[in-house]
Chain A
Amino acid sequence: MTILKVVRYVILDVVRNRWVLAYGLFFLAVTDVLLRLGGSGPRAMLSLLNVVVLLIPLVTIVFGTIYWHGAREFNELLLSQPVARGTLFHGLFAGLVIPLSVAFVVGVTIPVLVQRAADGQTTKLLLLLLLAGCALTAVFGALAVLIAGLVDDRLKGLGIALGVWLVMTVAYDGLVLWVAMAFQDYPIEGAMLALSFANPVDLARVLLVLRFDVSALMGYTGAVMQRMLGTPLGIAAAIGGLAAWTIVPGLFALRAFHRRDF
């Protein structure tokens, strides 16, 4: 039961500092504008895709790193009480990821409901978008606590967080582009897919892009990817990949947390 108390406290703390509220309002405004301008639901969802795969990682990793550093004194205080380190860690992590996810989900869902844009197609896309967004929040939340756990200096941690974000959203795609161009004469669809599994941002993006009906334009490549990722099994594998991206950094962060000297 201690863990619930910790989670409750952290959630209250996170929500109190208004960042999360602004984050939720941002999604509310963006979704509302996109629905009004774009007309149809699916097109608005498609525009949201870019926001989701770029902004969620950025905000989560920056906010997470800062928050974790800021919570240090609180952690020291709690650890002087009979609270297990693992419990505190999980409580802190859940307290970080849950409010951000909720802000995102609520912010996106309200305009869709208010404007009655939720036809069958839109609902399906929306659900996948929400799922991918929450998964990315968890992944980058885990990366944030890992960074904060390994680096004591607050500014340095922030710099590393931004670096990680930049690598995953931009630099990594440069590598993918290079591989695709360098080996264009070979059947590399499988390798490309493996590469995208190795980066959570790419994984979420490809998963969403495939759903947004652009798969057919891809010809052979698209067909291969559609067959691997477009099926329920493929989606499950992608979700599994994103889960692995949460659990592995999370475990490292937990280990770092256990080894800390405070």
Chain B
Amino acid sequence: MQRVGDALRLAAAGGRVLVKPGLYLEPTLRIERPVTLEGEPGAILDGGGTHTILEIAADDVTVRGLTLRNTGPSQSEERAGIRAAGVRNCRIESNHLDQTLFAIYLADVQDCLVRANIVRGPESAQMVSGNGIHVWSSRQVQVLDNDVRGHRDGIYFEFVSDGHVVGNRSERSARYGMHFMFSNDCRYERNLYLQNNNGVAVMYSKRAEFIDNRFERNWGSAAYGLLLKDINDSRIEGNQFVSNSVGLYLEDANRNRVIGNTFQGNGWALKSLANALDNVYEHNIFEGNAFDVGTNSRSNVSFFRENYWDRYRGYDLDRDGFGDVPHAPVRLFALVVERAPATLILLRSLLVDLLDLAERVIPSLTPETLLDDRPLMKRPERQVSRG
């Protein structure tokens, strides 16, 4: 058969359609029975710049090994490379998606797997580009080992529960490397978020788990390694925040546990607004950041314990590995900069160092209770890997 569309119409439920190498320029393909659509290397489905390429409209569909490209831009419709709506148990594996508005678009699905796809977006402004892997109102979705580059949001979750995002790489997004909202009980593990325009932003969710991810080089005036807005009861553990404008930003985020992360070479390692309450920071490493902790409040509402601070100047007389003098991680200059950003021109000035020193000896402006009572004397053995 010359056309994939014909093959899909004739395929029996449970059958397999194998696409031979070649360029297929057809109207939107619609899969309406549980089949496996598989491409041999070099099988290219082209949207001709005008429409969605593949639509999954049945349960138990597998799409594997295809190259899908060229949906063309659109301001009015959400064109996608692969679109699945209202189905269960779909598998989208090892496909190449190139120059699509949305690459993989899942709406209202359950038990779907998106694995090892390579997604290349247009790397253009966010106005004319869609999301790489877009999941809306779904349950138990797994997004594993994908490589997404140059979309608006690399990975986008909205109203998703029990999602797993593991081992992905998301870089150079026009907006966020990952963006999720209203998605409870999701787990994000071993992902790499690199050079995204605004970093990663997660909002309005509960019980999220961020484990062993790496947030790197998200530079810019509005770029955050990880921005938490209204995120409660979550775990942020073992992540690496390296060279971001702001490593971790908390706004209205409560009762989160930030444990065993490494903050290295960021502008601000951690920014916690006054409305972020009862967050616990333990066993983190802070080194080489311009500012370790920033806050806009004089009272303290979070707990710091047993972190390693490269700025700590105390001593350990009883040799238990913890400093005997509490460490105050908020520099006076950090407060000054928060109030008058133009003072940043004084960064690394002797005057500022002297003021910081005076403030450390006799605290009068920095939050008195924002202290790490048991700072680690030695940096824990934890290597920062190269991204």
| Interface residues, chain A, with chain B CB atoms under 8 Å away | 43, 49-50, 53-54, 169-171, 173-174, 176-177, 180-181, 184, 188-189, 192-193, 195-196, 202, 205-206, 209, 213-214, 216-223, 225
Contacts and interface: CB of A to CB of B under 8 A. Distances in A.
A213 B342 contact: no
Given A177-B351, A189-B342, 11 more contacts: A171-B351, A174-B351, A176-B346, A180-B342, A181-B339, A181-B340, A181-B343, A193-B345, A217-B268, A218-B347, A219-B341
A214 B346 contact: no
A49 B348 contact: yes
A44 to B, nearest CB: 12
A189 B341 CA distance: 9
Interface of B: 219-223, 243, 245-246, 266-268, 288, 290-291, 336, 339-352, 354
A184 B342 CA distance: 7
Contacts of A202: 345, 349
Given A217-B267, A219-B221, A209 B352 contact: no
Contact of B219 (A171, A184, A216, A221): A216
B341 A221 contact: yes
A169 B350 contact: yes
A216 B342 contact: no
Contacts of B288: 43
B195 to A, nearest CB: 12
A214 B347 contact: yes
A216 B345 contact: no
Given A214-B267, A217-B245, A225 B290 contact: no
A36 B291 CA distance: 24
Nearest to A208: B348
A173 B347 contact: no
B384 to A, nearest CB: 11
Nearest to A172: B351
Contacts of A170: 350-351, 354
A173 B342 contact: no
Given A217-B245, A219-B221, A177 B348 contact: no
B339 A217 contact: no
Contacts of A181: 336, 339-340, 343
B345 A225 contact: yes
Contacts of B341: 218-221
Contacts of B349: 169, 173, 202, 205
B345 A192 contact: yes
B345 A180 contact: yes
Given A184-B340, A217-B268, A223 B347 contact: no
Nearest to B268: A217
A216 B220 contact: yes
The 3 closest A-B pairs by CB, nearest first: A217-B267, A184-B340, A173-B351
A181 B339 CA distance: 8
B342 A209 contact: no
Contacts of B336: 177, 181
28 contacts: A54-B350, A169-B349, A169-B350, A173-B346, A173-B351, A174-B351, A176-B345, A176-B346, A177-B336, A177-B351, A180-B346, A184-B340, A189-B342, A193-B345, A202-B349, A205-B349, A206-B345, A209-B347, A214-B267, A216-B245, A217-B245, A217-B267, A217-B290, A217-B291, A218-B344, A219-B341, A220-B221, A221-B342
